[in-house]
Amino acid sequence: MKKIIAIAAFAILASPLFASDTPQMPRFHFENFTTANGLPDNHVYSVLVDGNRIWAGTDNGLGLYDNGNWKDYNTKDVLAHQAVLSLALDKRTGDLWAGTMGGLSRITADRIDTFTQLNSGLSNNIVYGVSISGNELWVATAAGGCKLNLETNQWTLYNERNTPMAEIWVYAVNATPNKVYYAVWGSGVLEYDQKTQKWDKYDDPDGETEIVLFKDQGLIHEIVTSVSYVDGILWAATYFGDSRYDGRYWHNFLTKDSGLPSNFTNTVKGLDANRAWFGTDKGLAYYDGSNWSVYRPNLKDHKPEMYVRDANGVVTNVPVDSAPAHNYILGLDFQGNDIWVATAEGLSHGIRQP
């Protein structure tokens, strides 16, 4: 009898769930916010961390979570439009910029100024992305990109006439002091060198819309939804997989040979040269350069789920008691070791566990 018990105990310890060589990936306790907690709307497009304050762009206005309470900004407060798609913080002034379906709004304390095609040089009122570098605000719209010099108030337009973009539906922008990257729907990634003021373009080399013929030969797909540039590394999210580019070599990620829960990726946030977070339509994913972890409600029974896929492709389930509010992830931001997640059915705060 003792021998049977010993064998059983060994079998449990050797099972994948308790394998000692499972990579130690970050674990979180998720607290979720919905309209029941004061969130303006459950459909959250974007989230931005501002110190101890959290901004959430929703389908029914902008929410500010501060000291345990929610404050709403909507069209009654002269917000450009109730659907807030993107957010950026000017750390020099504390101004918040909100890209909406009806223009661009700047929130300064309790004052809101709105920029549209009619009263400014904004290229289109549908603002998918905003990013700030120094004294320049870079904007991604449904009809090209543009830039606002915050000191001179001068606008510069970027479209098919003065950039390599073939399509003008620009989905996201990431501006840094050295490089500016635009994610363009159907036209790949555009790179602007701040020093030389020249443009470059990264395309899918095989030109296929649904299959990948040359996996690591270039950008994985032309429909790019998000870009993140950090430590000299470009991370690009598409609806058909994800890419990492170090300036010389490409490495692409697909569900069939990585830990991505889905190739349909809405957002990517690079942490450094090796680590990145991905928001997909089937959950939140983290990549540490070798291993993957996924956080989501289970796709069938909706119970909290976390699993780890190591560099050898071995998948291990990790017991957890909470998950993001929904599998469809639209935005990400970080607060120290914590993560904030914008989903299709609520805003989630992932509190890092020891």
Mean pLDDT, to the nearest integer, of 349-354?
Answer: 97
| Residues shown for the chain | 354
5 located within any domain? no
Q: What is the extent of the structural domain holding 272?
A: 28-352
Mind listing the pLDDT tens digit for each residue in 151-172?
999 999 999 999 999 999 999 9
Structurally, how many domains does the chain consist of? 1
Whether the per-residue pLDDT at 8 is higher than 50: the answer is no
Q: CA 48 to CA 331: how far, in whole Å?
A: 9
pLDDT of residue 211: 63
Mean pLDDT, to the nearest integer, of 101-124?
Answer: 95
Mean pLDDT, to the nearest integer, of 25-48?
Answer: 98
pLDDT of residue 209: 60
Mind listing the pLDDT tens digit for each residue in 301-330?
999 999 999 999 999 999 999 999 999 999
**Helix H or strand E segment including 10:** helix 2-14
Whether the per-residue pLDDT at 287 is higher than 60: the answer is yes
DSSP string, 258-295: SS-S-S-EEEEEE-SSS-EEEEETTEEEEE-SS-EEEE
For the chain, what is the mean pLDDT? 92
Whether the per-residue pLDDT at 4 is higher than 60: the answer is no
pLDDT of residue 5: 35
Question: With DSSP H G I counted as helix, E B as strand and the rest as coil, what are the percentages for the chain, rounded to 5?
Answer: 5, 50, 45
Whether the per-residue pLDDT at 122 is higher than 90: the answer is yes
Q: CA 32 to CA 30: how far, in whole Å?
A: 6
16 located within any domain? no
330 located within any domain? yes
From 199, 232, 200, select the one nearest 219 (Cα to Cα). 200
20 located within any domain? no
Mean pLDDT, to the nearest integer, of 49-72?
Answer: 97
pLDDT of residue 210: 61
Which of 221 and 75 is assigned the larger pLDDT?
221
Query: DSSP class of residue 36?
Result: G
106 located within any domain? yes
pLDDT of residue 320: 98
pLDDT of residue 353: 97
112 located within any domain? yes
CATH code (residue 194):
2.130.10.10
Contacts 24+ apart (CB under 8 A), 293-297: 293/23, 293/25, 293/26, 293/259, 293/318, 294/259, 294/261, 295/28, 295/30, 295/320, 295/323, 295/324, 295/350, 296/261, 296/323, 296/324, 296/327, 297/323, 297/324, 297/326, 297/327
Whether the per-residue pLDDT at 12 is higher than 60: the answer is no
Whether the per-residue pLDDT at 148 is higher than 60: the answer is yes
134 located within any domain? yes
135 located within any domain? yes
Mind listing the pLDDT tens digit for each residue in 233-267?
999 999 999 999 999 999 999 999 999 999 999 99
DSSP string, 165-227: -SS--EEEEEE-SSEEEEEEBTTEEEEEETTT--EEEE--TT--SS--SSTTSS-S-SBEEEE
Mean pLDDT, to the nearest integer, of 291-305?
Answer: 98
pLDDT of residue 288: 98
Q: Name the region of 225 (left: φ>0; alpha: ψ -120 to 50; beta: rest).
A: alpha
